[in-house]
């Protein structure tokens, strides 16, 4: 087996999820790194599928907390521990200084649910229901498919669920928010296609056995506001920077003129305000995360070590200074900066393989 060497530091590895019939010939030179990636994914998927909360009763008894309807709101340690978990580095990349203005509100929300001994609702804005292009030179390169970014998001949610359940048995209920009306209004993205993405994501959630923990809030199914506003109602910006211009092309999946980019950004600023107001009416006074924020919003890492929106590209891997692979968000810019190699994985086949292996092992033990 080849060892990792310095050339790997110059590379990033984009994961292409395909079925076995679309699998290209294996590149022998990449076998070692592919093994590392597969081992990483197997570990995360096994955690989602099989790591439960066997220690819950023991831990909660030690803390003097009942799994029943005992009045646990008196135990302020529970509230404090939950907040510490939510804002720990595993789940939040921001400093406490950046989000301290949310603490009182978060405490009040969590306390309200602890009083009722019910799951704590959490919401995360995932995006418009598709992945932005990592190669804008090829028109139509946006993706409505599931990739490992969604798997790692579910891993993060399951990890948070398990951590909180150890100290508060009702734990959490996580809702993934898809603002596909914004995607349609801003970039003319087909609602049917974003709904197709949502169906695939919900199927993944069920296959991974997380449908009791995770559900979805799809904008087009609850507040299709697009008919209330005309696309000429928004105020046009005068100028945009190059990064904004590039970002527009990524989400369009094609090149566009500067004039078109200005128009699209103006639409976005108009649309996101309307969308947030309407979605907040549905969500109510609960905790709502974004994946990345420059304005002090609450954030949730959508993949281990992440500080990025997974729908801005695709999640892949790089090799760190300790020769360990770590997940990163691959975008058009990172493909320009690094040598980008593609690794093909049949994600669903891998999940079913792990489920079947688990069943076989437990059948053998029972015999």
- Which structural domains are found in the chain, ordered by start? 58-312 (3.40.50)
- pLDDT above 70 (res 53): no
Strands lying side by side in the sheet with 287-289: 214-218, 172-178, 120-127, 287-289
- pLDDT above 80 (res 35): yes
The pLDDT of residue 230: 66
pLDDT (mean) for 352-358: 93
- pLDDT above 80 (res 80): yes
The pLDDT of residue 315: 94
pLDDT interval class at 22 (50, 70, 90):
low
The pLDDT of residue 55: 44
- Average pLDDT of the chain is 86
Pairing label, strands 120-127, 287-289: parallel
Where b means 16+ CB within 10 Å and e means fewer, 310-332 reads bbbbbbbbbbeeeeebebbbbbb
The pLDDT of residue 60: 41
The pLDDT of residue 6: 42
The pLDDT of residue 72: 47
Q: Judge whether 196 and 146 are in contact, CB under 8 Å.
A: no
- pLDDT above 80 (res 255): yes
**Span 153-163, pLDDT tens digits:** 999 999 999 99
Q: What percent of the chain has pLDDT over 70?
A: 85
∠ CA 306-175-268, nearest 5°, is 70
pLDDT interval class at 75 (50, 70, 90):
low
pLDDT (mean) for 147-157: 97
- pLDDT above 60 (res 9): no
The pLDDT of residue 280: 96
pLDDT (mean) for 241-248: 92
Q: What is the pTM of this model?
A: 0.89
Residue among 78, 77, 76, 98 at smallest CA distance from 87: 98
Residue among 38, 46, 147 at smallest CA distance from 354: 46
Taking the mean position of all CA atoms in its chain, how far away is CA 144? 15
Q: Any bridge partners for residue 288, and if so which?
A: 123
**Span 207-233, pLDDT tens digits:** 999 999 999 999 999 998 988 876 667
Q: Judge whether 211 and 161 are in contact, CB under 8 Å.
A: no
The pLDDT of residue 234: 80
The pLDDT of residue 366: 52
- pLDDT above 90 (res 247): yes
pLDDT (mean) for 298-324: 91
């Amino acid at each position: 087996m080849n060892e990792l060497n310095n050339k790997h530091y110059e590379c990033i590895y984009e994961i292409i999820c395909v079925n076995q019939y679309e699998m290209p010939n294996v590149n022998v030179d990449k076998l070692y790194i592919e093994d590392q990636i597969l081992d990483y994914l197997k570990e995360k998927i096994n955690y989602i599928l099989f790591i439960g909360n066997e220690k819950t009763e023991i831990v909660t008894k030690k803390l003097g907390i009942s799994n029943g309807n005992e009045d646990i709101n008196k135990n302020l340690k529970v509230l404090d521990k939950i907040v510490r978990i939510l804002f720990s580095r595993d789940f939040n990349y921001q400093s406490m200084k950046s989000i301290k203005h949310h603490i009182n509100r978060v405490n009040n929300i969590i306390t309200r649910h602890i009083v009722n001994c019910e799951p704590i609702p959490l919401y995360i804005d995932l995006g418009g229901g598709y992945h932005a292009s990592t190669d804008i030179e090829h028109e139509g390169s946006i993706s409505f498919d599931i990739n490992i970014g969604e798997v790692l998001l579910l891993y993060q949610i399951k990890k948070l669920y398990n951590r909180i359940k150890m100290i508060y048995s009702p734990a959490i209920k996580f809702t993934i928010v898809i603002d596909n009306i914004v995607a349609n209004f801003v970039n003319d993205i087909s609602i049917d296609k974003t709904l197709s993405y949502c169906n695939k994501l919900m199927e993944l959630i069920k296959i991974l056995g997380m449908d009791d923990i995770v559900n979805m809030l799809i904008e087009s199914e609850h507040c299709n506001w697009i008919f209330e506003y005309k696309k000429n109602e928004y105020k046009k910006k005068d100028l945009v920077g190059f990064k904004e211009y590039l970002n527009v092309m990524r989400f369009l999946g094609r090149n566009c003129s500067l004039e078109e980019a200005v128009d699209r950004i103006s639409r976005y600023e108009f649309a996101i305000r309307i969308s947030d107001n309407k979605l907040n009416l549905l969500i109510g006074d609960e905790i709502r995360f974004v994946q990345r924020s420059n304005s002090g919003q609450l954030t949730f890492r959508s993949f281990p070590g992440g500080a990025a929106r997974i729908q801005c590209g695709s999640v892949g891997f790089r090799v760190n200074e300790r020769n360990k692979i770590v997940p990163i968000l691959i975008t058009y810019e990172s493909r320009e900066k690094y040598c980008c190699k593609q690794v093909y994985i049949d994600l669903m086949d891998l999940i079913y393989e792990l489920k079947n292996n688990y069943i076989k092992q437990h059948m053998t033990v029972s015999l």
